[in-house]
Amino acid sequence: MIFVIGSNTTEQHPLIGTRILKAVSRGARLIVADNRKIRLARVASLHLREKNGTDVALLNGMMNVIISEGLEDKEFIRTRTEHYEELRKTVEQYKPDVAAQITGLQAGEIIEAARMFARGEKAMVIYCMGITQHTHGVDNVKSCANLAMLTGNVGRPGTGVNPLRGQNNVQGACDVGALPNVFTGYQRVTDADRRAEFEKAWGAKNLPGNVGLTVTTAINAALAGDLKALFVMGENPMMSDPDQKHVKDALSKLDFLVVQDIFPTQTSELADVVLPGACYAEKDGTFTSTERRVQRVRKAVEPPGQSKPDWEILCEIARRAGYDGMRYDSPSDIMDEIARVTPIYGGVSYDRIDQVGLQWPCPKPDHPGTPVLHVGRFTREPGLFSPAEYKAPKELPDEEYPFLLSTGRCYFHFHTGTMTRRSRILEREERFPYVEISVGDAKRLRLVDKQKVLVSTRRGEVQSLARISDVVKEGTLFMTFHFEEACANALTINELDPEAKIPEYKVCAANLRKA
């Protein structure tokens, strides 16, 4: 039993998508919860097209059915979890007809999904940005976890809550502390003992114990004048952050902007200094995949011109800034240091990942790695049920902006198109910015396919080509943020999840008219 929610898996994680397709061919049941008729929905046993941003209501509704029909895993709840009573009370209010009203689904669909999931001998939840990119993204994730714990689907192969990471090495970047609140391996900077250990390891004094800014709050701080300098590596916030005008105003206000990337971007145009980095084929190192597997990447060709691998650039800057502690002969040396200071990477070394990578936690050189998390025990045992109430997205359609605009990626381009729009055949496949609109809406507005249209929100307006299809439901539009000539993020809203600070890319109010 596979429950995919908020993930266009075959297009955005094709290798994982193919495993789902194969599992379905072998008889696995598949539920897809996605407002869009994504590719994977074609082979699903059940496709739930809930209104964008109503996932908490859907998940609570499913849990309501599971509990009222006695399908929950009582043994698991008793032995492995706490706060069940709080969960029960919260989801009690989400009877199928209540959840149906919020989500726009039929009560019967919610009941069927609940039974199908709970009756699966092994059931897994797979989620991606459709769950996280909301002002209630954390609530969405908690609700997915609640569903898995309620049915005892944790800690066994074929079960679990499986977040698919949005980029090839975002897992690795987080693992080594590219976050505002932790050192490597999620060791908190607010913990004085941890700080003392890192001060010792790095020969440094007074490491700051305050939590820094996230990507999105840093942009806000720049606009407020509280942030003076920004060093951007391998990101293109001018295209990828919400509300492009806001981002441009913020970046323009900085005293100093450094951009390190492999190609010029809209962000590097605003930079005071551009540092050319080496691409994946020009450097040695590791990427950590979405299944926590630390894998080698190997240099095939020399970096062109003055470009250098990222680690060399960073070490060089540290030296020139007066810190002498970052001296490494090779990326393998750096991994040895990571292993020394990071318990979950403690047993990882280049020797061990020469052919096949290792999945963390891998604390010791003789530890085989951990393919399945939470076997017999949670990191926090017992597992805590964290019930969440449904909260509406920040900006919903109204008279002035009657459409709900959702954004994401397409199959042939990656992110802001920095790489894929330079690739001949990929660019040929998707040449022009487009906006998906339903057949019914197109008919009402007298649009024809590929007609030029203007899409506007309270943030801005872009010109795009109408793509009329049954992929989106009536009242909904979908755009991608790959195209600088009509960037979806000129339209999106800079409203953040209060905890994770992730923006609500998936919902804002928009209008559409002929160009």
Cβ of residue 39: shortest distance to other proteins, in angstroms?
8
Burial class (CB in 10 A: 0-12, 13-18, 19+), 501: middle
CB of 44 or CB of 110, closer to other proteins: 44
Cα gap 163→290, rounded to integer Å: 8
**Angle of helix 137-150 versus helix 55-68 axis, rounded to 10:** 20
Residue 453: beta bridge partners?
Answer: 464, 514
Q: Does 321 bind other proteins (CB under 8 A)?
A: no
Cβ of residue 170: shortest distance to other proteins, in angstroms?
22
Q: Write each residue from 342 to 381 as x if it is in contact with other proteins (CB under 8 A), else as -, in one continuous string.
A: ------------xx--------------------------
Distances (CA, A) of 145 to 102, 142, 325, 465: 21, 5, 41, 39
Length of the chain as a residue count:
515
Cβ of residue 43: shortest distance to other proteins, in angstroms?
6
What does the angle CA 110 – CA 111 – CA 114 come to, to the nearest 5 degrees? 85
Cβ of residue 424: shortest distance to other proteins, in angstroms?
6
- Measured in degrees and rounded to the nearest 5, phi and psi for residue 182 equal -135, 155
Burial class (CB in 10 A: 0-12, 13-18, 19+), 411: middle
Among 424, 446, 448, 485, binds other proteins (CB under 8 A): 424
CB of 320 or CB of 424, closer to other proteins: 424
Q: Write each residue from 169 to 208 as x if it is in contact with other proteins (CB under 8 A), else as -, in one continuous string.
A: ----------------------------------------
Q: Which among 325, 344, 322 is positioned nearest to 333, based on CA atoms?
A: 325
Interaction residues for other proteins, span 3-32 (CB under 8 A):
10-11, 14-15, 17-18, 21-22, 25
Cβ of residue 29: shortest distance to other proteins, in angstroms?
16
Q: Does 340 bind other proteins (CB under 8 A)?
A: no
Interaction residues for other proteins, span 450-469 (CB under 8 A):
450
Cβ of residue 415: shortest distance to other proteins, in angstroms?
19
Q: Which residues touch 425 (CB under 8 Å, ≥6 apart)?
A: none
Interaction residues for other proteins, span 427-446 (CB under 8 A):
428-429
Q: Write each residue from 43 to 72 as x if it is in contact with other proteins (CB under 8 A), else as -, in one continuous string.
A: x-----------------------------
3-state secondary structure labels for all residues of 352-418: CCCCCCEECCCCCCCCCCCCCCCCCCCCCCCEECCCCCCCCCCCCCCCCCCEEEEEECCCCCCCCCC
Chain residues that interact with other proteins, rule: CB under 8 A = 10-11, 14-15, 17-18, 21-22, 25, 39, 42-43, 354-355, 411, 424-425, 428-429, 450
